[in-house]
Structure 1
Amino acid sequence: MAGISTKGSYGLAAMYELALHYGQGHLQIRDIAEKAHIPPNYLEQILATLRKEGLIQSIRGAGGGYLLAKAPAQIHIYEILFTLEGELCTPADEGLQPILHLYWGRVKEDMKSVFHESLQDLVDQGNALNQQSMYFI
């Protein structure tokens, strides 16, 4: 069974940054890397994968960058993680007893449910958190 690696975490962080700027134009890779605290070279690989899967678009050229291919409400966290990680809950041993296959199948469905939130949900939660923080300053 695989967990969520740095690749998945960084990919989600990059997508969150793009969601925060949705409708405001593109972001350059150095800006995404700086804001999300991701090594630029690693981010480049992650963004290439996300682009190939149609989750983001790239704009070429000196002033180019990246933007979401769809509205944040249409991109689910599970979709991002599946793109970068593959199946999130797959037992390593295919020779398991049938009841264990059923169990892992339920776990997989539960994970899909947990990660069903959209990027817009994350943006909204982040905005609410920022509002709460402002009251405590």
Structure 2
Amino acid sequence: MPLISTKGVYGLMAMHELSKHKKDTPMQIKEISKNAQIPQNYLEQLLGKLRRAGLVKSIRGAKGGYILAQKPEEINIGEILSVLEDELKMIDQRSQNPILNLFFDDAKANMKRYFDVSLSKLDEYQEKYNQFLHYNI
């Protein structure tokens, strides 16, 4: 199974919040934290990593906060996860069995291809969620 920690999940949640926000106005950390239900101290660390990687920009001042550094269509989910997770892993160690190692190498490549989509792709899941709610009410 892919090992995506809370860093990756929370970071992706924060990026999704920023992608839904007005493009030109910064979103404050407390607002991101509240909307995404991420502890504010932890969120500050994650946004710092994302800023250093050039995925978000920080705006100083009373009306400051964070904005995406690029359009959501230009930001790759796999890139977000690799910034926060360093590397997505299928397993923690190599096997003594070379056949299994080849299998896990292929699985890892397939996993990377799966995450090779833009942040804007999450909008499709928002639509699926809305349909789910509509049919289950």
Q: TM-score, normalised by structure 1?
A: 0.87
1:108 matched residue in structure 2: 108
The secondary structure found in structure 2 opposite 1:88 is: coil
Q: Structure 1's 127 and 91: CA in aligned 2 closer, same or farther, altered over 3 A?
A: closer
Q: Residue in 2 aligned with 1:8?
A: 8
How much identity, in percent, do the aligned residues show? 47
Query: In the alignment, is the contact (CA less than 8 A) between 2:29 and 2:66 conserved in 1?
Result: yes
What is the CA deviation profile of residues 99-122 of structure 1, one whole-angstrom value per residue up to 9, with x for unaligned ones? 333222211111112212211110
The one-letter code sitting in structure 2 at the alignment partner of 1:13 is: M
Deviations 1:44-101 (A, max 9, x none): 0000000000010000122210010111011111111111001102644357443333
Partner of 2:87: 87
How far apart are residue 24 of structure 1 and its match? 4.4
Distance 1:132 1:89, change over 3 A: closer
Can you give the 5+ residue segments of structure 2 that lack an aligned partner in the other structure?
Answer: none
Task: Give 2:68's aligned residue.
Answer: 68
Cα distance in 2, alignment partners of residues 25 and 134 from structure 1: 31
Partner of 1:52: 52
Structure 1 unmatched runs, 5+: none
Aligned length: 137
1:133 Cα deviation from its structure 2 partner: 3.0
The question of whether the paired residues in 2 share the 8 Å contact of 1:57 and 1:68 is answered with yes
Quickly say closer, same or farther: Cα 1:98–1:74, change in 2 above 3 A: same
Give the Å deviation of 1:20.
Answer: 0.6
Query: Is the contact between residue 2 and residue 90 of structure 1 (CA under 8 Å) also seen in structure 2?
Result: yes
Residue in 1 that maps onto 2:77: 77
SS at match of 1:57: strand
CA RMSD of aligned residues (A): 2.2
Q: If the length of structure 2 is used for normalisation, what is the TM-score?
A: 0.87
